[in-house]
Chain A
Amino acid sequence: MTSAHSKLYSDDVSLVVVVVDTNPFFWAAAALPFADFFANLVHFVNSLLLLNHLNRVVVIAAGVSSCAYIFDSNDASPSGGVGVMATFDKASRKVEEFIAQDARATAGNSSVASANAASLLSGALSLALCYIQRIFRSGTRHPQPRILCLQGSPDGPEQYVAVMNSIFSAQRSMVPIDSCIVGTQDSAFLQQASYITGGVYLKPQELNGLFQYLAAVFATDLHSRTFLRLPKTLGVDFRASCFCHKKTIDMGYVCSVCLSIFCKNQKKCSTCGSEFSRVMPDLNSMPDQSK
């Protein structure tokens, strides 16, 4: 009986974890001012909460040095009532706190000094997944979770492994990762994330209409999505690049130890250092055997 009950619940009750990029370097140069972006976000969060009174929304800020929860609809309105102003007040206060804290952390961190530092997407995704896991374990009835990433700054390649791990764990727990790019560059990470987890990847052209995009594409719950025709990614390039010349190749050599890809035969794997001891006989030194 309990399971049947929970099924009814989870059909159209959503737990949306919104990951917001608060990279100061990006927002300082962005076409859309952060203030406007934030207003759009607050309205979107409120829309989600209004769609179903059991919906839950969590907002996580991904800075350059730290990540934090900046909004949780559960402790904002335990009574179930939703007020735009309440959300706004709470969120803006938390964002301010978070940014001050991130600034302090960045100041003491010399590695983030460069202006093209990436936001901590991997950390934010991990926080989101942890939150979702907590909800999963907290009772028999749980809402359908999904993650929405609002990213502006470019990807941080050094986070690749961590991001990929997050993506795969999201896939395992069947949490779709939706992505909405508010910056100038497409994100390879989020493209893959959305592709692998079955989420929606979107890069809006008109950033001033961000709310419209969010409401039209990302607001519907997972159950309703099956009836909708949502934007599709125009294609994910699955071809691999070789590690030696960064060329996209169709056919190449793969290290048997670490699976690094090379376009030419290597004596030694430049990634993990394994030596390929198979002796390739020199053709020219071979005796003439074709007679």
Chain B
Amino acid sequence: MGSMTIGAKYKTTLKDPGTPGVLRMNDDRLTFTPNDPRSAMKLNVDFRSIKGHKFNKVDGNKPALLNLSKDSDKGGGYMFEFDNVGNRDLCRDFVARVLGKHQGVVPPRPTAAPENSVASAGLEQLSAAEVERRVKLLREDSELQKLHKKFVLGNILQESEFWATRKNLLDDQANKASKQRPGFKTAMSDVRPSADGRTNKVTFNLTTEMIHQIFAEKPAVRRAFLDFVPKKLTDKEFWTKYCRAEYLLRTKNTAAATAEAAEDEELAVFLKNDDILAKEAKLKIKQVDPTLDMEADAGDDYIHLPDHGILRDGSKETLDTDSELAKRTLSQDLNRHAAVVLEGIASDVELTDAKSVAEALARSKKEPPSTSVDDSSHERLVKVARMTEIEDLQAPRSVPYAPLCIKDPREYFDSQQANALRSLGGSNDGRKARSCSLSTEEAFHHLTDQISSIKVNKLNYPVIQSDMALKVLNELNEGISRSRRLNLKNPQEGLLGRVPQHTQDELMDHWTAIQELLRHFWSSYPITNAVLYNKVQRVKDAMTQIYQKLQAIKESAQPDVRHEISRLVKPMTQALDAAFSHDLEQQQKSAKAGNKPNGF
């Protein structure tokens, strides 16, 4: 498993500024050497005394911490601070593996290879339950464990790759547990002022994550940010204005809000109703069943009446339609959040700065093509017609499908027949069909003649000559004993049974390994990025090793079972050969076309 050396600060408590130094870890021990040789903060700890590890969620400017606890109950331990999250995570993974080894459980090895981390980071955030499920599966299935040990710990496959092909196993397990994953957080309530009570200052805390949420749920803010930020306002000014507007809305200080909006046009943007959302809503309303009169129905609920409403933030929320300023009700907020969740958020957006987040979101939200008025009204008419029709009287609307038409079955089955004939070794000796060039009438005439001759001659006795009967019986006998000799019933079983037990086990192991590797190999094609390329290289190396092992088994076999073993090994080597030749072909192809010396 190797060792790891990394710069870190050792902290005795959370408040402690920390002693800078170097953290070294290997399979058994971790040592910490302070940069200042005079410092007494030297550490030399056996990993066996470490019982667990914790790490904090890095958010904003908080340092990346890793806490190695000596005893999970008592809480004593060693705390290290790292320069960045990446270093911390590397350490964490290393510690997790070492601890796993010491505790007899192999926790999944998070994708640690640096060249892969770009692609795999963020794809899989393993929850503890997930890890537990995997460990449990491994414990229950020894064959799976063997494969896992061989490939994942042998660095041939990555943890995520290994499990990707076994999703169904995990899902079966997961069915018992709740399947719900934490969704996208809402911006509805997170931006919340905190007053310190003494002064009139109100503080808002905004994190990048929250900004992401705000952008996702309030497209007008996003647009405003893109419009204003570097040119008219700084980042800070923008958010100050936003928070101010939020505060005004929240306190329901309508008069103040109106006054502020009149003075400050940028602030007014936040106070107005979100026109992008309004446009989207209008589009959506158009798609609603046209027989439904939403405006008429709006009168049926009580929310707009005084003293009716939803309790929110300690006060009744009522609909006040007078003001042109934004009045977002709870249900509107909820709906908006639900819409964002359903649309899904591009997970590849890195939460770095507000600008890039806003741009990425704007990119992903492309305006739908505006349909012309004629078009939309026509569409509406069609919809009305469809809704008002009496279903019983309509012909079933045809569902679009690809018609299945077998063009010419003869083309296919002619060849099938030829194959079947070939497989039987062409036992059509001596009875070649005479070329038949008779017309239909002639053929039928011939047949009728035959029947007339039967009627005239009646049946001949005996129906069969005894020597002929003997011949037939001999032939049948021979055929039956031949098929018995070949043991046609289950030749595979016989083959494997003739091989000694340990070779049998070895061969079966290789088979499962080859199957696993081949599955990964073929699923990696076409190679579209460096991750897949690396994976194929790793898998290929492993396959080469198995290939050599198979050859060794074949050569070292006892002469009496050598034939059986080579017959058993043959399909394995064939499958591997197919993979190798495909790889070679691909390399040649790309080398030819791209003229890239490294073959990719």
Proximity string of chain B (392-430) to chain A, C-beta cutoff 8 Å, 1 when within and 0 when not: 000000000011111101111111111111011101100
* Cβ-neighbour of B530 out of A92, A236, A290 (below 8 A): A290
Give the chain B neighbours of A42 by CB distance below 8 A: 459
Also in contact, A188 and B468, with CB within 8 A (given A31-B431, A106-B440): no
Tell me whether B316 is interfacial, beta carbon within 8 Å: no
Proximity string of chain A (131-164) to chain B, C-beta cutoff 8 Å, 1 when within and 0 when not: 0000000000000000000000011011011000
Which of the segments A9-17, A73-81, A281-289 contacts the partner chain? A281-289
Tell me whether B504 is interfacial, beta carbon within 8 Å: no
Tell me whether A28 is interfacial, beta carbon within 8 Å: yes
Contact across chains for B415 and A246 when beta carbons are under 8 A apart: yes
Given the complex of chains A and B, what is the CA–CA distance between A214 and B440 in angstroms? Answer: 30
* Cβ-neighbour of B416 out of A113, A241, A283, A284 (below 8 A): A241
Proximity string of chain A (15-44) to chain B, C-beta cutoff 8 Å, 1 when within and 0 when not: 000000010110111010111001110110
Also in contact, A232 and B483, with CB within 8 A (given A24-B444, A206-B468): yes
Also in contact, A35 and B453, with CB within 8 A (given A99-B447, A160-B413): yes
Contact across chains for A96 and B448 when beta carbons are under 8 A apart: yes
Tell me whether A272 is interfacial, beta carbon within 8 Å: yes
Look across to chain A and name the residue whose beta carbon is closest to the beta carbon of B431: A184
Tell me whether A258 is interfacial, beta carbon within 8 Å: yes
Contact across chains for B450 and A27 when beta carbons are under 8 A apart: yes
Tell me whether B1 is interfacial, beta carbon within 8 Å: no
Which of the segments B13-21, B291-299, B474-482 contacts the partner chain? B474-482
Contact across chains for B420 and A237 when beta carbons are under 8 A apart: yes
Look across to chain B and name the residue whose beta carbon is closest to the beta carbon of A109: B440
Tell me whether A95 is interfacial, beta carbon within 8 Å: yes
Also in contact, A43 and B590, with CB within 8 A (given A33-B450, A188-B420): no
Give the chain B neighbours of A289 by CB distance below 8 A: 529-530, 533, 600
* Cβ-neighbour of A35 out of B427, B431, B457, B469 (below 8 A): B457
* Cβ-neighbour of B446 out of A27, A257, A270 (below 8 A): A27
In B428-474, the 8 Å CB interface with A consists of: 428, 431-444, 446-448, 450-455, 457-460, 463-464, 468-469, 471-473
Look across to chain B and name the residue whose beta carbon is closest to the beta carbon of A217: B476
Also in contact, A206 and B424, with CB within 8 A (given A31-B431, A158-B409): no
Look across to chain B and name the residue whose beta carbon is closest to the beta carbon of A34: B450
Give the interface centre of A39, A258, A270 by most chain B CB atoms within 10 Å.
A39
Contact across chains for A231 and B410 when beta carbons are under 8 A apart: no
Given the complex of chains A and B, what is the CA–CA distance between A28 and B434 in angstroms? Answer: 9
Tell me whether B593 is interfacial, beta carbon within 8 Å: yes
Tell me whether B596 is interfacial, beta carbon within 8 Å: yes
Given the complex of chains A and B, what is the CA–CA distance between A286 and B590 in angstroms? Answer: 10
Given the complex of chains A and B, what is the CA–CA distance between A217 and B423 in angstroms? Answer: 23
Give the chain B neighbours of A88 by CB distance below 8 A: 458-459
Look across to chain A and name the residue whose beta carbon is closest to the beta carbon of B600: A290
Proximity string of chain A (52-86) to chain B, C-beta cutoff 8 Å, 1 when within and 0 when not: 00000000000000000000000000000000110
Q: How far does the Cβ of B476 sit from chain A's closest Cβ, in whole Å?
A: 6
Contact across chains for B529 and A188 when beta carbons are under 8 A apart: no
* Cβ-neighbour of A212 out of B413, B438, B468 (below 8 A): B468
Contact across chains for B413 and A155 when beta carbons are under 8 A apart: yes
Tell me whether B598 is interfacial, beta carbon within 8 Å: yes
Contact across chains for B423 and A235 when beta carbons are under 8 A apart: yes
Contact across chains for A157 and B410 when beta carbons are under 8 A apart: yes
Given the complex of chains A and B, what is the CA–CA distance between A143 and B233 in angstroms? Answer: 95
Look across to chain B and name the residue whose beta carbon is closest to the beta carbon of A284: B593
Also in contact, A211 and B463, with CB within 8 A (given A241-B415, A289-B533): yes
Given the complex of chains A and B, what is the CA–CA distance between A252 and B425 in angstroms? Answer: 25
Give the chain B neighbours of A188 by CB distance below 8 A: 413, 416-417, 419-421
Given the complex of chains A and B, what is the CA–CA distance between A183 and B421 in angstroms? Answer: 13
Look across to chain A and name the residue whose beta carbon is closest to the beta carbon of B456: A35
In A192-247, the 8 Å CB interface with B consists of: 203-209, 211-213, 216-217, 229-232, 234-237, 239, 241, 243, 246
Given the complex of chains A and B, what is the CA–CA distance between A164 and B418 in angstroms? Answer: 18
* Cβ-neighbour of A281 out of B443, B447, B457, B526 (below 8 A): B526
Also in contact, A283 and B590, with CB within 8 A (given A203-B427, A209-B472, A235-B488): yes
Give the chain A neighbours of B526 by CB distance below 8 A: 280-281, 283
Given the complex of chains A and B, what is the CA–CA distance between A167 and B488 in angstroms? Answer: 23
Given the complex of chains A and B, what is the CA–CA distance between A216 and B471 in angstroms? Answer: 13
Tell me whether A130 is interfacial, beta carbon within 8 Å: no
Give the chain B neighbours of A191 by CB distance below 8 A: 420
Give the chain A neighbours of B437 by CB distance below 8 A: 115
Tell me whether A50 is interfacial, beta carbon within 8 Å: no
Given the complex of chains A and B, what is the CA–CA distance between A160 and B451 in angstroms? Answer: 31
In B518-548, the 8 Å CB interface with A consists of: 526-530, 533
Give the chain A neighbours of B407 by CB distance below 8 A: 270-271
Contact across chains for A27 and B528 when beta carbons are under 8 A apart: no
Tell me whether B578 is interfacial, beta carbon within 8 Å: yes
Contact across chains for A258 and B447 when beta carbons are under 8 A apart: no
Given the complex of chains A and B, what is the CA–CA distance between A107 and B421 in angstroms? Answer: 32
Given the complex of chains A and B, what is the CA–CA distance between A161 and B412 in angstroms? Answer: 12
Look across to chain A and name the residue whose beta carbon is closest to the beta carbon of B467: A209
Q: How far does the Cβ of B527 sit from chain A's closest Cβ, in whole Å?
A: 7
Tell me whether B101 is interfacial, beta carbon within 8 Å: no
Look across to chain A and name the residue whose beta carbon is closest to the beta carbon of B534: A290
Q: How far does the Cβ of B54 sit from chain A's closest Cβ, in whole Å?
A: 36
Give the interface centre of B406, B529, B598 by most chain A CB atoms within 10 Å.
B406
Contact across chains for B406 and A92 when beta carbons are under 8 A apart: no
Contact across chains for A209 and B409 when beta carbons are under 8 A apart: no
* Cβ-neighbour of A29 out of B402, B434, B444, B460 (below 8 A): B434
Give the chain A neighbours of B549 by CB distance below 8 A: none
Tell me whether A248 is interfacial, beta carbon within 8 Å: yes
Contact across chains for B448 and A100 when beta carbons are under 8 A apart: yes
* Cβ-neighbour of B420 out of A85, A106, A186 (below 8 A): A186
Contact across chains for B402 and A273 when beta carbons are under 8 A apart: yes
Given the complex of chains A and B, what is the CA–CA distance between A231 and B473 in angstroms? Answer: 12
Proximity string of chain B (551-586) to chain A, C-beta cutoff 8 Å, 1 when within and 0 when not: 000000000000000000000000000100000001
* Cβ-neighbour of B473 out of A158, A216, A232 (below 8 A): A216
Contact across chains for B472 and A157 when beta carbons are under 8 A apart: no
Also in contact, A212 and B464, with CB within 8 A (given A24-B446, A290-B530): yes
Contact across chains for A241 and B578 when beta carbons are under 8 A apart: no
Tell me whether A263 is interfacial, beta carbon within 8 Å: no
Tell me whether B48 is interfacial, beta carbon within 8 Å: no
Q: How far does the Cβ of B77 sit from chain A's closest Cβ, in whole Å?
A: 41
Proximity string of chain B (41-67) to chain A, C-beta cutoff 8 Å, 1 when within and 0 when not: 000000000000000000000000000
Give the chain B neighbours of A243 by CB distance below 8 A: 411-412
Tell me whether B368 is interfacial, beta carbon within 8 Å: no
Given the complex of chains A and B, what is the CA–CA distance between A154 and B475 in angstroms? Answer: 24
Q: How far does the Cβ of B294 sit from chain A's closest Cβ, in whole Å?
A: 38
Given the complex of chains A and B, what is the CA–CA distance between A64 and B459 in angstroms? Answer: 26
Across the A-B interface, the 4 shortest Cβ-Cβ residue pairs: A157-B413, A246-B415, A24-B443, A284-B593
Q: Can you spell out 21 A-B residue pairs with CB atoms less than 8 angstroms apart?
A: A27-B447, A29-B433, A34-B447, A40-B463, A43-B459, A155-B417, A157-B413, A157-B414, A160-B413, A161-B409, A184-B433, A185-B417, A186-B421, A188-B421, A209-B469, A229-B480, A229-B484, A251-B578, A281-B526, A281-B528, A283-B526
Q: List residues of chain A with CB under 8 Å of any chain B CB.
A: 22, 24-25, 27-29, 31, 33-35, 38-40, 42-43, 84-85, 88, 92, 95-96, 99-100, 102-103, 106-107, 112-113, 115-116, 154-155, 157-158, 160-161, 183-188, 191, 203-209, 211-213, 216-217, 229-232, 234-237, 239, 241, 243, 246, 248, 251, 257-258, 270-274, 280-281, 283-284, 286, 288-290
Given known contacts A103-B441, A209-B469, A283-B589, what 9 new A-B pairs fall within 8 Å (CB)? A22-B447, A42-B459, A92-B454, A191-B420, A206-B475, A212-B464, A237-B423, A251-B578, A283-B527
